[in-house]
A and B are shown apart, each in its own frame.
Chain A
Amino acid sequence: MKILYSYIKKLVPALKADAKEVGEILTMTGFMLDGFEKVEYQGKKDYLMSFEIRNNRPDCLSIIGLAREVAAYYGLSIKTPVIKKLEFGKNKISINVNEEKLIKRIVAVEMENIKNSESPKWLKSLLNFYQINSVNCLVDLSNYAMLMTGQPSHIFDKEKIKGSLSWSLNKKHEKIITLDKSEIKINNSTLIVEDDNEILALAGIVGGDKARIELKTKSIILEMATYDNAIISKNSRKLNIITEAGNRLSKELDPNNLDFSIRFLISIIQENCKGDISSRLFDYYPKKEKAKVILFDPSLPTAFAGVKITVQKSEKILKNLGCKVSKKGKKLLVVLPQNRTDLSIEEDIIEEVIRIFGYYNIKSDNAPALEVVKNITPISFYLQEKVRDILQANGFDEVLSSPLVSKAINKETKYKNMGLVIMQNSVNEEFPELRQSIATGLVLQIRNYLKLGVENIKIFEIGKVFGEENKKYLENNSLGILINSDKKEIYKIKEAIENLLRSLGIENIKYFPAKQKPEIANQFSIFDIIINKENVGIIYKLNSQENKNIYFAEINLDELTTILEKNHGQATIEITQKLVTLDANVELEKEESIYDFLESVQEKINKKNIMAIRIFDVFPLGSKIRYTIRVSYEGLSDQEAKKFHMAIFGLTDVKQ
Chain B
Amino acid sequence: MNREIIKKLEEEIAVVNSVDDLAKIKNKYFGKGGLFKLPENFKQLSAEEKKSQGTIFYNIKSKAEQILSQKEIDLKKVLSQDTVKKQAEELGFDIPKIGHLHPITQTIRMLNNLFIGMGYSIMEGPEIETDEYCFKRLNVPKDHPARDMQDTIYIKEPNYLLRTQTSSIDARILEKYKPPFKVVCPGRVYRNEKANKSNHFIFHHYQGLVVLPKTNLKDLFGTFDYIFKAMYGKDVVVRYRNKYYPEVEPGVGPDMQCFNCKGKGCSLCKGVGWIEMGGAGIRHPNVLKMAGIDPKKYMAFAFGLGLDRFVMAKYKITDIRTLLGGNIGYKPYQNENTL
Q: Is the CB of B217 within 8 A of A354?
A: yes
Q: Is the CB of B119 within 8 A of A370?
A: yes
Given contacts A367-B225, A464-B127, contact A400 B102 (CB under 8 A): yes
Q: Which of B7-15, B43-51, B188-196 contacts A (4 or more CB under 8 A)?
A: B188-196
Q: Which of B77-131 contact A (CB under 8 A)?
A: 96-102, 104-105, 109, 118-119, 121-124, 126-128
Given contacts A374-B181, A398-B101, A475-B127, contact A233 B243 (CB under 8 A): no
CB of A196 within 8 A of chain B? Answer: no
A433-476 CB mask vs B (1 if < 8 Å, else 0) is 01000000100110111001011101000001010000001010
Could you tell me the distance between the alpha carbons of A427 and B192 in the complex, rounded to whole angstroms? 6
Q: Is the CB of A400 within 8 A of B323?
A: yes
Given contacts A359-B240, A399-B102, A424-B154, contact A306 B250 (CB under 8 A): no
Could you tell me the distance between the alpha carbons of A29 and B250 in the complex, rounded to whole angstroms? 11
Could you tell me the distance between the alpha carbons of A229 and B144 in the complex, rounded to whole angstroms? 8
Q: Is the CB of A371 within 8 A of B153?
A: no
Can you list 27 A-B pairs with a CB-CB distance of less than 8 A? A32-B253, A56-B146, A230-B144, A233-B143, A304-B250, A305-B216, A347-B284, A348-B249, A351-B250, A359-B241, A363-B218, A366-B222, A371-B180, A371-B212, A373-B182, A377-B121, A380-B124, A392-B100, A404-B201, A423-B155, A428-B201, A444-B326, A447-B326, A452-B327, A456-B332, A473-B128, A473-B155
The smallest C-beta distance from A556 to any residue of chain B, in angstroms, reads 15
Chain A residue at minimum C-beta to C-beta distance from B212: A371
Which residue in A376, A402, A422 is a CB contact (below 8 Å) of B181?
Answer: A376
9 further A-B pairs in the complex, CB-CB below 8 A; given A306-B216, A368-B215, A452-B327: A29-B242, A30-B244, A33-B272, A342-B244, A351-B251, A354-B242, A370-B119, A397-B100, A427-B201
Could you tell me the distance between the alpha carbons of A179 and B243 in the complex, rounded to whole angstroms? 36
Q: Is the CB of A351 within 8 A of B241?
A: no
Could you tell me the distance between the alpha carbons of A570 and B251 in the complex, rounded to whole angstroms? 50
Which residue in B128, B145, B188, B252 is a CB contact (below 8 Å) of A55?
Answer: B145
Could you tell me the distance between the alpha carbons of A454 and B226 in the complex, rounded to whole angstroms? 41
Which residue in B177, B183, B241, B323 is a CB contact (below 8 Å) of A27?
Answer: B241
Could you tell me the distance between the alpha carbons of A364 and B177 in the complex, rounded to whole angstroms? 29
Chain B residue at minimum C-beta to C-beta distance from A394: B99
CB of A210 within 8 A of chain B? Answer: no
Q: Interface residue tally of chain A, by bracket?
A: 35 or more
Q: Which of B189-247 contact A (CB under 8 A)?
A: 190, 192-195, 201-202, 210, 212-219, 221-223, 225-226, 239-244, 246
Could you tell me the distance between the alpha carbons of A579 and B100 in the complex, rounded to whole angstroms? 38
Q: Is the CB of A362 within 8 A of B328?
A: no
Could you tell me the distance between the alpha carbons of A395 and B101 in the complex, rounded to whole angstroms? 10
Q: Which of B264-307 contact A (CB under 8 A)?
A: 272, 282, 284-285, 299
Given contacts A56-B244, A350-B250, A475-B128, contact A367 B105 (CB under 8 A): no
Could you tell me the distance between the alpha carbons of A298 and B324 in the complex, rounded to whole angstroms? 50
Given contacts A370-B119, A445-B326, contact A426 B192 (CB under 8 A): yes
Chain B residue at minimum C-beta to C-beta distance from A385: B109
Q: Is the CB of B219 within 8 A of A370?
A: yes
Residues of B contacting A464 in the complex (Cβ-Cβ under 8 angstroms): 127, 188
Residues of B contacting A434 in the complex (Cβ-Cβ under 8 angstroms): 128
Q: Is the CB of A454 within 8 A of B127?
A: no
Which residue in A250, A351, A373, A449 is a CB contact (below 8 Å) of B180?
Answer: A373
CB of B148 within 8 A of chain A? Answer: yes
Q: Is the CB of A425 within 8 A of B127?
A: no
CB of A573 within 8 A of chain B? Answer: no
Which residue in A368, A394, A475 is a CB contact (below 8 Å) of B218?
Answer: A368
Could you tell me the distance between the alpha carbons of A441 and B325 in the complex, rounded to whole angstroms? 8
Q: Is the CB of A251 within 8 A of B145?
A: yes
Chain A residue at minimum C-beta to C-beta distance from B173: A376
Which residue in B97, B153, B225 is a CB contact (below 8 Å) of A395?
Answer: B97
Q: How many A-B residue pairs have CB under 8 A?
A: 235
Could you tell me the distance between the alpha carbons of A408 and B104 in the complex, rounded to whole angstroms? 27
Residues of B contacting A304 in the complex (Cβ-Cβ under 8 angstroms): 216-217, 250, 282, 299
CB of B330 within 8 A of chain A? Answer: yes
The smallest C-beta distance from A75 to any residue of chain B, in angstroms, reads 18
The smallest C-beta distance from B159 to any residue of chain A, in angstroms, reads 10
CB of B3 within 8 A of chain A? Answer: no
Residues of A contacting B323 in the complex (Cβ-Cβ under 8 angstroms): 400
Q: Is the CB of A377 within 8 A of B218?
A: no
CB of A57 within 8 A of chain B? Answer: yes
Could you tell me the distance between the alpha carbons of A441 and B126 in the complex, rounded to whole angstroms? 20
- Residues on A close to B: CB < 8 A? 27-30, 32-34, 54-57, 229-230, 233-234, 237, 250-251, 303-307, 342, 345, 347-348, 350-351, 354-355, 359-360, 362-368, 370-378, 380-381, 385, 388, 391-404, 421-428, 431, 434, 441, 444-445, 447-449, 452, 454-456, 458, 464, 466, 473, 475
Could you tell me the distance between the alpha carbons of A404 and B127 in the complex, rounded to whole angstroms? 11
Which residue in B157, B216, B246, B250 is a CB contact (below 8 Å) of A424?
Answer: B157
CB of B156 within 8 A of chain A? Answer: yes
Chain B: interface secondary structure?
A: mixed
Residues of B contacting A458 in the complex (Cβ-Cβ under 8 angstroms): 97, 99
CB of B36 within 8 A of chain A? Answer: no
Chain B residue at minimum C-beta to C-beta distance from A366: B222
Q: Is the CB of A402 within 8 A of B241?
A: no
The smallest C-beta distance from A98 to any residue of chain B, in angstroms, reads 21
Q: Is the CB of A364 within 8 A of B222?
A: yes
Residues of A contacting B124 in the complex (Cβ-Cβ under 8 angstroms): 378, 380-381
Given contacts A29-B242, A473-B160, contact A395 B122 (CB under 8 A): no
Chain B residue at minimum C-beta to C-beta distance from A391: B99
Chain A residue at minimum C-beta to C-beta distance from B130: A473
CB of B149 within 8 A of chain A? Answer: yes
Residues of A contacting B33 in the complex (Cβ-Cβ under 8 angstroms): none
Most chain B C-beta atoms within 10 Å of own C-beta, residue among A351, A372, A385 = A351
Which residue in A251, A359, A394, A452 is a CB contact (below 8 Å) of B242?
Answer: A359
Q: Is the CB of A392 within 8 A of B99?
A: yes
Which residue in B97, B145, B242, B272 is a CB contact (below 8 Å) of A250?
Answer: B145
Chain B residue at minimum C-beta to C-beta distance from A33: B272
Could you tell me the distance between the alpha carbons of A424 and B98 in the complex, rounded to whole angstroms? 42
Given contacts A54-B243, A374-B181, contact A401 B222 (CB under 8 A): no
Residues of A contacting B188 in the complex (Cβ-Cβ under 8 angstroms): 403, 464
Q: Is the CB of A424 within 8 A of B155?
A: yes
Which residue in A251, A367, A372, A423 is a CB contact (below 8 Å) of B222?
Answer: A367
Q: Is the CB of B121 within 8 A of A375?
A: yes
Residues of A contacting B324 in the complex (Cβ-Cβ under 8 angstroms): 400-402, 441
Could you tell me the distance between the alpha carbons of A468 and B104 in the complex, rounded to whole angstroms? 29
Residues of A contacting B180 in the complex (Cβ-Cβ under 8 angstroms): 371, 373
Return the 10 tightest CB-CB contacts between A and B, nearest first.
A306-B218, A306-B216, A448-B326, A392-B99, A367-B226, A364-B222, A54-B244, A351-B250, A30-B242, A368-B219
The smallest C-beta distance from A423 to any residue of chain B, in angstroms, reads 5
